[in-house]
A and B are shown apart, each in its own frame.
Chain A
Amino acid sequence: MSILECKDLTKRYGSVTALDQMNLTLESGKIVGLLGPNGSGKTTLIKIANRLLQPTSGELLIAGSRPNEATKAIVSYLPDRSYLPEWMKVTELLEFYQDFYSDFDCAKAQELLKTLQIPDGMAMKKLSKGTKDKVQLILTMSRRAKVYLLDEPIAGVDPAARDYILRTIVSNYSEDALVLISTHLIADVESVLDEAVFLRQGKVILHKPIDTIREETGKSVDAYFREVFAC
């Protein structure tokens, strides 16, 4: 069953077209890479799915409805920036998530924090950028959501932490959920993906299972991406 669907989805900022009559259908139970160069519309798509932006025309549906309070309750979103209040302690953030999201698994979050040895009594502003990113990821992945929208989850962290983050994503998402990972660091995420969506200038130019891409082109997705988007 399709959990996320775009129908002729278009978003313009003044004269700039970020999404151009995009059509895309994504199914539950898959980890999908949303791949494209900078400015191809990845973040715009994810923001529309979270109702942080309204489309200019067309529509995006999550479990059959346009983004609203009900869809927000089943979507777990990781923005591409530090978005947590700096004054809050990690424990206070756990309470916050538990208060607002009924699907938040606090025990799981605490366990992940412990494994990573993140001191939960510290205020966010006292943590390093990399540690903040990890806290954000832990909060996002500790929800039992139907859709995970992860915008550049690995861009800001070192390669060793990247592996850890990807392992966290793979081992923590609910089996029947859709995980959409937006990134341009394809080599790093390739091993965990089921499907890849290539985005160019606001249009989907390819949407296939990873194995199919490898079989058809005889290349890794990373190598194929470099070929398609060669400047």
Chain B
Amino acid sequence: MLGKLIRYDFKAVQRLLFPVYGAMIVLSVVIGLTSRSDSGSGYTVFQISMMLFMMIVLAAILLTIYLLVERFYHNLLGNEGYLMFALPVSTSEHIIAKILTALIWMAMGCLAVLVCGIIMGLFSMTWEDLMNMFRSIGSLFTQYQFSGDTFTQLMEMLLIAALTAVSVVVKVYASISIGHLWSSHRILGSVFAYVGFTIAALLVTTQIAEVMKMQSMWSIIAYLAVWIAVYGLITWYILDRRLNLE
């Protein structure tokens, strides 16, 4: 059931974000092709498309954030909640599906920007540049030995980045859920809850930082995991026990 929930959530977001990614990729090609012209109309096209690209990336970031909040709010706590909560699916599955979808879309956004960067590079380079690049990548692999430690560190960094993203997402979900306890002014309630959480987290963090010193990667990971659990439990309790759809 979890896979199905994610699939439908993905579909709902994909129809809005894929066109934006498409525009980013088209602009990357234009930027790549015009990047070597230093005067005339080519340069103007380059400047305009570069500016457009920046604007679209910013729009994509804002749209992703908006959609992640909107999906939780409308799909679970709006009218669509009557459909979703009537499904033979547990509340925790609903929440986990929403978190994973959010994580997937944040990763997709990063991937889209990465792909655009590669496209710009490929289209701006001459054949010679390209061959040189492959040669230097090849020599990088032969000269530099990737040790197990480097790999572990990389994985830890990725894990921390993912957990940080999840903790922010669940914090937003917990805030929206608390706002849902109000009978009116639910959005205002959510904003207050978010500010409250931020202040509480700040207070706790300053206390803990003294003790833990935040030295090892694993203490950071454990710290993030605890926050995710706290926000997740608040969200679960409200959606499971205190649900009151309009």
- Please report A residues at the B interface, Cβ cutoff 8 Å: 13, 47, 50-54, 69-70, 72-73, 75, 77, 79, 81-85, 87, 92, 96, 99-101
Query: Interface segment, B37-45, B83-91, B110-118?
Result: B83-91
Contacts A69-B90, A75-B86, A92-B11 supplied; 5 other A-B pairs, CB < 8 Å = A52-B81, A52-B85, A72-B89, A77-B82, A82-B79
Chain A facing B: main interface SS? loop
Q: Does B136 contact A (CB under 8 A)?
A: no
Distance of A153 Cα from B245 Cα, bound (Å): 19
B80 touches A100 (CB 8 A): no
Distance of A75 Cα from B1 Cα, bound (Å): 17
Distance of A27 Cα from B89 Cα, bound (Å): 26
- 26 CB contacts below 8 A, A to B, read A13-B244, A52-B81, A52-B86, A52-B243, A54-B242, A54-B243, A69-B89, A70-B88, A72-B86, A72-B87, A72-B89, A75-B86, A79-B82, A81-B82, A82-B79, A83-B83, A84-B80, A84-B83, A85-B12, A85-B83, A87-B15, A92-B11, A99-B4, A100-B88, A100-B89, A101-B87
Residues of A within 8 A of B135 (CB): none
Distance of A136 Cα from B11 Cα, bound (Å): 21
Distance of A25 Cα from B240 Cα, bound (Å): 26
CB distance from B154 to the nearest CB of A (A): 37
CB distance from B35 to the nearest CB of A (A): 38
Distance of A69 Cα from B89 Cα, bound (Å): 6
Residues of A within 8 A of B89 (CB): 69, 72, 100
Q: Does B241 contact A (CB under 8 A)?
A: yes
Q: Knowing A69-B90, A72-B86, A100-B89 are in contact, say whether A83-B244 is a contact too (CB < 8 A).
A: no
A101 touches B88 (CB 8 A): yes
Which of B12, B80, B90, B245 is the one whose CB lies under 8 Å from A52? B245
Residues of A within 8 A of B218 (CB): none
Distance of A79 Cα from B85 Cα, bound (Å): 12
Ranked nearest first, the 9 interchain pairs of A and B with the lowest CB-CB distance are: A83-B82, A73-B88, A79-B82, A72-B88, A69-B88, A77-B86, A83-B83, A100-B87, A99-B4
Q: Does B8 contact A (CB under 8 A)?
A: yes
| B8, closest chain A residue (CB) | A96
The residue in B12, B88, B242 that gathers the most chain A C-beta atoms within 10 A of its C-beta is B88
B90 touches A85 (CB 8 A): no
Contact with A along B61-99 (1 / 0, CB 8 A): 000000000000001000111110111111000000000
Question: CB within 8 Å of A: which of B1-52?
Answer: 1, 4, 8, 11-12, 15
| A83, closest chain B residue (CB) | B82
| B241, closest chain A residue (CB) | A54
| A51, closest chain B residue (CB) | B85
The residue in B86, B89, B244 that gathers the most chain A C-beta atoms within 10 A of its C-beta is B86
Distance of A226 Cα from B22 Cα, bound (Å): 62
Residues of B within 8 A of A87 (CB): 12, 15
Residues of B within 8 A of A72 (CB): 86-89
A83 touches B4 (CB 8 A): no
Residues of A within 8 A of B87 (CB): 72, 100-101
A83 touches B85 (CB 8 A): no
CB distance from B89 to the nearest CB of A (A): 7
B85 touches A50 (CB 8 A): yes
Residues of A within 8 A of B8 (CB): 96
| B90, closest chain A residue (CB) | A69
The residue in B15, B80, B90 that gathers the most chain A C-beta atoms within 10 A of its C-beta is B80
CB distance from B88 to the nearest CB of A (A): 4
B86 touches A50 (CB 8 A): yes
Distance of A52 Cα from B246 Cα, bound (Å): 10
Distance of A2 Cα from B145 Cα, bound (Å): 72
Q: Knowing A53-B244, A81-B79, A87-B15 are in contact, say whether A100-B1 is a contact too (CB < 8 A).
A: yes
Residues of B within 8 A of A73 (CB): 88
Distance of A81 Cα from B79 Cα, bound (Å): 8
Distance of A151 Cα from B243 Cα, bound (Å): 19
